[in-house]
């Protein structure tokens, strides 16, 4: 047989695209359209319904950036269309190749009932099937003219990312608003051809199935009457039925399709727009569920449900009904799909607590898995936290984006730092917006790493980010691919069903130990430093407010624990941990609002903490220590006078001076407190840091060396830092001044000021205090650079085989060598409050109060010694998607801690992030809880969420070894239970002797619920 594939394929392509697709809607009549431009921000339906509308013609430009235009559309179904499937088709002027992230509209009936959204790939609104003829149409369409920020693949900076700079020129041109007949024979033929053509081109050149499909298509096209596509479509479909009916091979891979609509809670649009995106998408989904009984839609992010509940109660009611029918699957159990690295440990716990509780309360469903497809790496603390919240599985997708190394598994057990394992899956389809194309199905099979051990994978399908979610066309593809030779088999089902089947068939799945590091998007540890600082400060202020509110509730008569306010504030903090807000990868509008929200959170938490402390009564200044470690350090009085004090962990003490062992001396540029001696060079860097206790020099080069690097990644400016940034840099050695600013027996400080770059300035106050080896670098930056990154380095004379960086409820060790491509790819990594470098018998830590990104490297000197250098990433200057990212003022502190053990690093990390509070108070109650036993660290103290008055304490082992201790209470203890994160009992704890003995494995998290004895 002659090879005529090219002729046939080109023939089918032309007929499909040019003759069949254009007549899917067989007949159409235009709707009468009028428009009203809402002023400013979006308005409620009632206001729009009462507005004055003007006639509006097809082809008219509309929609200033971030504007809202309401269209009133009216018409009548022609009587002659009785018995046909009739729908409205609305094209707002969709542009580009994205299915979302641009113009979107929500269609309402005249009474305000939301019907369905219109999106680029979802332009229809059902009217009647079958129509009676004569139906009156009266719609009000709320159309959002959101700019396509991603246009031209982020080719350059754009002012469109903030309503303050976007201008008012119309973005879109209205194309169509018709009542139309859906020709179902033609529509189904179009789908038949899509599936067969895509399958055909994915099959091998010598695969008989490919040739079978090719010639079947050729014969079918002979039956197509070009003068009567509609009339001949059924015959063409009949001719194709045999090749569409051939069953899949018995060994065919099984794809579990799960409806999905990944909606970023903010990204290239502000939070206010996400509230509307969710309503549009959820309207589409509930409408689709009415059409396809097998449809199942998985939806995460309790926050988005709450927005719909509060703003669109009719859509919320439809969601509740879909959940009851089993077509809507709440998943994820988190408040939002948070960043996987940056939130603190307690914050991730609260993400899971608030998310799972929401779904239990509103749907009676306890979610079983963590659904986090799109985040930029995943902390090794996740397995334990997920399991403690009652989860059985974990799903993500993003690791498939690795630049260097292909992750070796798709289905596996993920083991966290404490040894907890959770069953985990990466969909080999490599997308969380699948549409069941032939290319996707072939990729899923080709890519699947578990061949020979397992046979199934999961594919989330549907258009996200304003694309409207799954479509009827995707569902029709799924039906055709249910059992089709040459393709993977598609079954639409609940993700719990997939994970159950996957685990049963693959009980001995491989194990991956430690963090899931994404070899991409490493700059998300640093971009938008003020957003990150707002998060860090908020997390610690929440801890402070809860601790002292609990103390006041136990000891101050008449004080009421602020349950509702704390709940609301936590949810605000959790929202802003979303994986495009906290990482710094959103438009300017998002980060401008985030900074304002963090300021509001800070003000209210300060008020709550002050109220709690004041409730304990007045009587003189006291020092309050929120840290879980005893403190002996310098604080300042209201007059700024330094005082050295000792304060117990989670407790308070009078502001009474205690004499330190040795005072601080300042001689020229040398600071000495008897523990360490710090010498500054003329250029303001550290020339020497000598640990007087150990008798050794710490530095092996210039310490506190600020280095300005050129930072232009190949793509994704706010997200990425590429390795070539290291090749071009300037060391900031020029100084304007090096000045001693304090020479008190308790505090010595030198201020170094520099100007650099394009008008930027940096001022650092380098401080050494009595009684502490910690050297603080209080830093003020006025930043005006573009496409740069500022790092600060400390080369230390330590041969460290690995670095240790704090993560949630513990730390991870990372090799300092680059033996393999896996280590070499970790040229920028994340950590929380500290990084530790050590060799047997000695260590050094670098502490910070708001920095997450860092790198660690080592070299061998000519003298044979090893220099290990840790560098913090302080601030960046990407221009896309926010051209003004990080511009302006920054204030933060980092510190060098010589002679530090891991336990020292933990304690000083808390201390730097939880400053001692001086307040007028007569109250001197015992700490709510105290712990004897090294390595047992209290992370949270609060009252139980159920209002019972029980005290909940969350603690963990922080050194990486086994720990034993005793937890004592500052109140009469009646009983204790070990609980899960949701404060539900797991087992009864021993309370003999009025205390709770605690034994923890390395990095174990333990939540205790303590019942108070009734007062006599």
CA nearest to 144, candidates 214, 196, 219, 69? 69
Helices marked H in 616-686? none
Do residues 911 and 949 make contact, with C-beta atoms less than 8 angstroms apart? no
Do residues 285 and 255 make contact, with C-beta atoms less than 8 angstroms apart? no
Structure tokens at 869: 């250098």
> DSSP 3-state assignment of 300?
coil
b/e string for 183-199 if b means 16 or more Cβ within 10 A? Answer: bbbbbbbbbbbbbbbbb
Do residues 669 and 750 make contact, with C-beta atoms less than 8 angstroms apart? yes
b/e string for 137-163 if b means 16 or more Cβ within 10 A? Answer: bebbbbbbbbbbbbbeebeebbebbbb
Do residues 763 and 751 make contact, with C-beta atoms less than 8 angstroms apart? yes
Q: Which residue has the tokens 């053509």?
A: 197
Residue of 374, 722, 855, 882 marked catalytic: 374
Which string of DSSP letters, residue by residue, matches 491-539? EE--HHHHHHHHHHH-TT--EEES-B--SS-GGGGTSSHHHHHHHHHHH
How many helices and strands in the chain, by DSSP H and E? 19, 55
b/e string for 577-587 if b means 16 or more Cβ within 10 A? Answer: bbbbbbbbbbb
Q: How many C-alpha atoms does 641 have within 13 Å on its Cβ side?
A: 6
CA gyration radius, the chain: 31
Structure tokens at 726: 């290291």
Q: How many C-alpha atoms does 812 have within 13 Å on its Cβ side?
A: 23
CA nearest to 189, candidates 560, 395, 615, 473? 473
Instruction: Look up 374 and say whether it is catalytic.
Output: yes
738: number of Cβ within 10 Å: 18
Q: How far apart are CA 879 and CA 582, in angstroms?
A: 17
DSSP H/E element including 138:
strand 136-145
Cα angle 67-70-72, degrees, rounded to a multiple of 5: 160
- 354: Cα separation from own chain's centroid: 15
- Peptide bond connecting 881 to the previous residue in cis, omega within 30 degrees of 0: yes
Structure tokens at 628: 């879980």
Q: Which residue has the tokens 């840091």?
A: 689
178: number of Cβ within 10 Å: 18
- 154: Cα separation from own chain's centroid: 21
Residue 241 burial class via C-beta count within 10 angstroms: exposed 0-12, middle 13-18, buried 19 and up? exposed
CA nearest to 830, candidates 484, 518, 400? 518
- Which of the residues are catalytic? 374
């Amino acid at each position: 047989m002659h090879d005529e594939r090219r002729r046939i394929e080109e023939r089918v392509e032309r007929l499909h695209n040019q003759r069949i697709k254009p007549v899917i809607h067989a007949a159409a009549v235009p709707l009468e359209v009028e428009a009203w431009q809402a002023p400013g921000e979006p308005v409620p339906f009632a206001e729009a319904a009462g507005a004055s509308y003007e006639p509006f013609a097809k082809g008219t430009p509309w929609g200033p950036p971030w504007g809202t235009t309401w269209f009133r559309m009216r018409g009548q179904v022609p009587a002659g269309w009785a018995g046909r499937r009739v729908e409205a088709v609305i094209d707002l002027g969709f542009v580009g190749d994205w299915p979302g992230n641009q113009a979107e509209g929500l269609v309402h009936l005249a009474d305000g009932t939301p019907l369905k959204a219109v999106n680029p790939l979802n332009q229809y609104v059902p009217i009647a099937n079958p129509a009676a003829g004569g139906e009156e149409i009266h719609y009000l369409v709320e159309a959002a003219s959101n700019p396509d920020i991603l246009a031209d693949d982020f080719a350059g900076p754009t002012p469109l990312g903030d309503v303050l700079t976007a201008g008012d020129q119309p973005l879109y041109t209205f194309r169509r608003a018709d009542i139309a007949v859906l020709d179902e024979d033609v529509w189904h033929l179009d789908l038949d051809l899509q599936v067969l053509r895509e399958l055909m081109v994915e099959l091998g050149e010598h695969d008989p199935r490919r040739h079978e499909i090719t010639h079947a298509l050729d014969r079918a096209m002979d039956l197509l009457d070009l003068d009567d596509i509609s009339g001949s479509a059924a015959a063409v479909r009949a001719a194709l039925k045999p090749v569409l009916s051939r069953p899949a091979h018995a060994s065919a891979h099984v794809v579990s399709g799960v409806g999905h609509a990944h909606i970023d809670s903010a990204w290239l649009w502000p939070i206010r727009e996400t509230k509307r995106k969710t309503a549009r998408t959820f309207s589409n989904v509930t409408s689709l569920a009415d059409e396809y009984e097998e449809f199942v839609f998985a939806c995460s992010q309790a926050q988005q449900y709450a927005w719909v509940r509060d703003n669109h109660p009719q859509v919320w009611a439809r969601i509740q009904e879909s959940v009851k029918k089993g077509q809507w699957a709440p998943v994820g159990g988190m408040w939002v799909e948070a960043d996987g690295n940056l939130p603190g440990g307690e914050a991730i716990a609260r993400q899971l607590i608030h998310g799972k509780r929401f779904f239990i309360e509103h749907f009676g469903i306890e979610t079983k898995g963590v659904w986090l497809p799109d985040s930029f790496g995943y902390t090794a603390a996740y397995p334990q936290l997920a399991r403690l919240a009652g989860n059985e599985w974990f799903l993500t997708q993003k690791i498939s984006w690795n630049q260097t190394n292909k992750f070796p598994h798709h289905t596996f057990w993920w083991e966290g730092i404490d040894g907890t394992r959770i069953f985990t899956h990466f969909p080999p389809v490599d997308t969380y917006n699948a549409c069941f194309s032939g290319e996707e199905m072939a990729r899923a099979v080709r890519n699947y790493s578990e061949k020979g051990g397992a046979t199934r994978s999961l594919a989330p399908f549907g258009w996200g980010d304003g694309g409207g979610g799954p479509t009827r066309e995707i569902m029709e593809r799924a039906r055709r691919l249910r059992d089709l030779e040459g393709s993977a088999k598609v079954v639409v089902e609940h993700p719990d069903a997939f994970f159950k089947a996957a685990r049963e068939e693959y009980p001995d799945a491989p194990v991956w130990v430690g963090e899931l590091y994404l070899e991409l998007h490493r700059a998300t540890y640093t971009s938008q430093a003020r957003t990150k600082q707002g998060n860090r400060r908020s997390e610690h202020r929440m801890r402070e407010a809860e601790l002292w509110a609990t103390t006041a509730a136990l000891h101050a008569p008449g004080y009421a624990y602020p349950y509702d306010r704390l709940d609301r504030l936590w949810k605000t903090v959790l929202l802003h941990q979303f994986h495009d807000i906290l990482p710094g990868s959103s438009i300017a509008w998002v980060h401008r609002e985030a900074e304002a929200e963090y300021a509001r959170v800070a003000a209210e938490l300060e008020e709550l903490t002050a109220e709690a402390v004041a409730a304990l009564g007045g009587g003189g200044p006291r020092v309050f220590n929120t840290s879980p470690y005893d403190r002996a350090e310098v604080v300042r009085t209201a007059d700024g006078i330094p005082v050295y004090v000792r304060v117990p962990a989670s407790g308070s003490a009078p502001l009474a001076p205690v004499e330190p062992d040795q005072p601080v001396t300042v001689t020229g540029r040398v600071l000495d407190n008897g523990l360490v001696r710090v010498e500054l060079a003329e250029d303001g860097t550290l020339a020497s840091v000598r640990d007087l206790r150990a008798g050794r020099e710490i530095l092996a080069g210039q310490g506190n060396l600020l280095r300005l690097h050129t930072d232009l990644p190949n793509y994704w400016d706010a997200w990425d830092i590429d390795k070539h940034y290291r090749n071009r840099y300037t060391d900031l050695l020029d100084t304007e001044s090096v000045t001693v600013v304090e020479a008190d027996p308790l505090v010595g400080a030198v201020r170094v000021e520099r100007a650099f770059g394009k008008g930027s300035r940096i001022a650092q106050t380098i401080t050494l205090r009595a009684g502490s080896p910690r050297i603080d670098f209080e830093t003020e930056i006025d930043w005006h650079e573009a496409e740069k990154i500022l790092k600060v380095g400390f080369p230390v004379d330590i041969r460290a085989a690995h670095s240790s960086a704090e993560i949630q409820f513990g730390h991870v060790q990372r090799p300092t060598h680059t033996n393999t491509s896996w280590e070499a790819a970790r040229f920028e990594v994340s950590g929380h409050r500290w990084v530790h470098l050590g060799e047997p018998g000695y260590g050094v830590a670098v502490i910070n109060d708001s920095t997450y990104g860092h790198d660690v490297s080592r070299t061998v000197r000519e003298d044979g010694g090893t220099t290990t250098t840790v560098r913090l990433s302080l601030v960046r200057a990407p221009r896309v998607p926010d051209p003004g990212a990080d511009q302006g003022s920054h204030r933060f502190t980092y510190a060098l801690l010589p002679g530090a053990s891991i336990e020292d690093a933990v304690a000083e990390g808390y201390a730097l992030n939880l400053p001692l509070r001086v307040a007028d108070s007569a109250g001197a109650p015992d700490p709510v809880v105290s712990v004897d036993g090294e390595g047992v660290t209290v992370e949270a103290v609060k009252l139980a969420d159920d209002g019972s008055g029980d005290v909940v304490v969350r603690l963990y082992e922080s050194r990486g070894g086994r720990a034993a201790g005793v937890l004592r209470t500052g109140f009469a203890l009646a009983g204790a239970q070990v609980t899960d994160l949701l404060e539900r009992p797991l087992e009864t704890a021993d309370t003999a002797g009025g205390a709770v003995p605690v034994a923890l494995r390395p990095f174990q998290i333990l939540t205790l619920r303590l019942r108070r004895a009734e007062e006599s």
